[in-house]
Structure 1
């Protein structure tokens, strides 16, 4: 499945229609993408007063629009990093939940540790609020282009985290299930280097100014907010929030999802972020178990922890702070919700 949709058909070389198609193709890759990004930046800014509350003035939006029209060659925001710890003198559990949701307000909040950067959780963000707005606009465009449409999700979804609800709803109420295999791909992130992600996602190469900004984003340095020293994140793309999450999700679509769905046609399968669930029923012609998934992981050069639950075997985590999945003795799947107060982060 080609990641980039070719909208314009080719005509005879030298014909007027061929020149028109060439012009339209260049416009689509150049002018159209600039207009798409400009429109999303303006839409975000006008849809919520929080951007003005952070000090972004209309003149800054106009200046950004001019930069985008010129190709945005000066995209070099400095990223900052802050560590939060639990316990005495640190953050409370409720503060942690508030921090996790900051990316839904347009911040870049890391739910994962930066490699060699300290304790989880942390927050990293561009130095200027206007750059946060730009990265949010980029994340929205990539979600619409390569996640919502490819997974038949409703276009009204606006935040990456909203996919979790659809992941859970897919499983809640499934019947006739014999076995569920859960794969946690979070440890694979350390193998997703910038060159590997960029080489895998050819679909990101034909997006004009968006491609240029994404390449700049992937190579940005990260600095500790307290010491102003650079934080090295070797062998991993910068994990600074929603845009990173979206890029990783698209990467896993091309690497892991495609391989699983190619081997097990019609399998019950969903993935939210790095949490994978797939199941077999009594009618499936294939055998689904840990060795088969390990073989897939080796084939795509990724790693993950694998858990298997048989009928009537109990619960399994879908996402630690959100829910668990249960398979009854009758083969029925349910996902009871956990309240925030029931989560014990100290035990992780």
Structure 2
């Protein structure tokens, strides 16, 4: 019985083996550098191909959306070639409440569509109109590609480097660990809450890319990410391009992961360098940090404002102090409570109790 042609994965494995052999056998250092670069590029190609195939084979929803096996094979070929023809079109739709519009429950359903692989905007696009909204590539196959990229970035830069559980597959799942960190903390004197959502308008494509140097050497993944950051967005109703002030496309999980990495390099790093050992977590744009009775530093609004100015960001700051009956409701449908004894708790709110900026 004759052997079939080698698969793309087998070709990559053979190429990788040859490259590794030449790296160790080669005598000249410049040759070794060349081979290592080739090996690194092949590694990220294989990572992306495997993640695309894993997602496609793990859930029938991609076939239900019309993604055919032939399209997966074509995408794999494009990845091998460096994905030079990358031209997806992002389409934007708005939804309104009230008569003829969506109910609050429908809103919460829409808000979670990115967990199913869609690209859902939980924030307003700059100059784009009403919120909530949905933005997605015009082709379902590109939604699959962006989901695969988000998973790889989460695995490489969030899960591994922050010691998060390896089973974490969706960005929204990180909220649970953010809340669990605070629930049960004791001896807290003051909690400072910072909402960084207004900073997004200052995160231009150029600034994000220049900040995240870790994304520059990922081969074909770097190429696709750079193209993604500058994708034009069109209104689904008028087919006209929407200006978004050079802000990165805010269209769901891939955008969320990129923004999280940006804030990690900018805001998180600055806070942790100034306040060693501080109680601190951030989920998305929601920051919580606290001082205890044992801390030597002074933690208050002016100090956080100074950090925001230093990293050229903006944020809404609120302070909860022990003994003041402090409670703060954050944008993620939960609340943080500081008792008179310095104990922190996060009672969960049911869906619909948090009012969004709807009119």
Q: TM-score range by the shorter chain?
A: over 0.9
1:49 Cα deviation after fit = 0.5
For the 8 Å contact 1:315–1:324, the answer to whether it is kept is no
1:86 Cα deviation after fit = 1.0
**In the aligned structure 2, how far is the partner of 1:96 from the partner of 1:314?**
32
For the 8 Å contact 2:23–2:32, the answer to whether it is kept is no
Query: Aligned ranges for residues 302-341 of structure 1 at < 5 Å?
Result: 302-317=313-328, 319-341=330-352
Encode CA deviations 1:256-289: one digit per residue, 9 max, x unaligned.
0000000000000000000000000011110000
**In the aligned structure 1, how far is the partner of 2:226 from the partner of 2:33?**
28
Aligned equivalent of 1:220: 231
Query: Structure 1 residues 9, 249: CA separation in 2 closer, same or farther (over 3 Å shift)?
Result: farther
Aligned equivalent of 2:122: 111
TM-score (norm 2): 0.91
Encode CA deviations 1:99-138: one digit per residue, 9 max, x unaligned.
0110000000000000000011100000000000000000
Encode CA deviations 1:146-192: one digit per residue, 9 max, x unaligned.
11122210110000000000000000000000000000000000000
For the 8 Å contact 2:91–2:235, the answer to whether it is kept is yes
1:295 Cα deviation after fit = 0.2
**In the aligned structure 1, how far is the partner of 2:34 from the partner of 2:327?**
53
Aligned equivalent of 1:270: 281
**In the aligned structure 2, how far is the partner of 1:9 from the partner of 1:283?**
56
Query: Structure 1 residues 139, 318: CA separation in 2 closer, same or farther (over 3 Å shift)?
Result: farther
Unaligned stretches of 5+ in structure 1? Answer: 1-6
**In the aligned structure 2, how far is the partner of 1:94 from the partner of 1:287?**
43
Query: Structure 1 residues 320, 66: CA separation in 2 closer, same or farther (over 3 Å shift)?
Result: same
Please say which of residues 9-18 and 209-218 is displaced more in the overlay: 9-18
**In the aligned structure 2, how far is the partner of 1:105 from the partner of 1:156?**
16
**In the aligned structure 1, how far is the partner of 2:321 from the partner of 2:218?**
45
For the residue of structure 2 that corresponds to 1:271, the secondary structure is strand
**In the aligned structure 1, how far is the partner of 2:250 from the partner of 2:350?**
27
The structure with more radius of gyration: 2
Question: Alpha carbon RMSD of aligned pairs, Å?
Answer: 2.4
**In the aligned structure 2, how far is the partner of 1:293 from the partner of 1:8?**
49
For the residue of structure 2 that corresponds to 1:314, the secondary structure is coil
1:25 Cα deviation after fit = 3.7
Query: Structure 1 residues 306, 136: CA separation in 2 closer, same or farther (over 3 Å shift)?
Result: same
For the 8 Å contact 1:180–1:279, the answer to whether it is kept is yes
Encode CA deviations 1:277-306: one digit per residue, 9 max, x unaligned.
000001111000000000000000000000
Query: Structure 1 residues 9, 274: CA separation in 2 closer, same or farther (over 3 Å shift)?
Result: farther
Unaligned stretches of 5+ in structure 2? Answer: 1-18
For the 8 Å contact 2:323–2:341, the answer to whether it is kept is yes
Query: Structure 1 residues 339, 80: CA separation in 2 closer, same or farther (over 3 Å shift)?
Result: same
1:26 Cα deviation after fit = 2.7
TM-score (norm 1): 0.93
**In the aligned structure 2, how far is the partner of 1:286 from the partner of 1:8?**
51
1:341 Cα deviation after fit = 3.2
**In the aligned structure 1, how far is the partner of 2:299 from the partner of 2:43?**
45
Aligned equivalent of 2:152: 141
Aligned equivalent of 2:133: 122
Query: Structure 1 residues 67, 13: CA separation in 2 closer, same or farther (over 3 Å shift)?
Result: closer
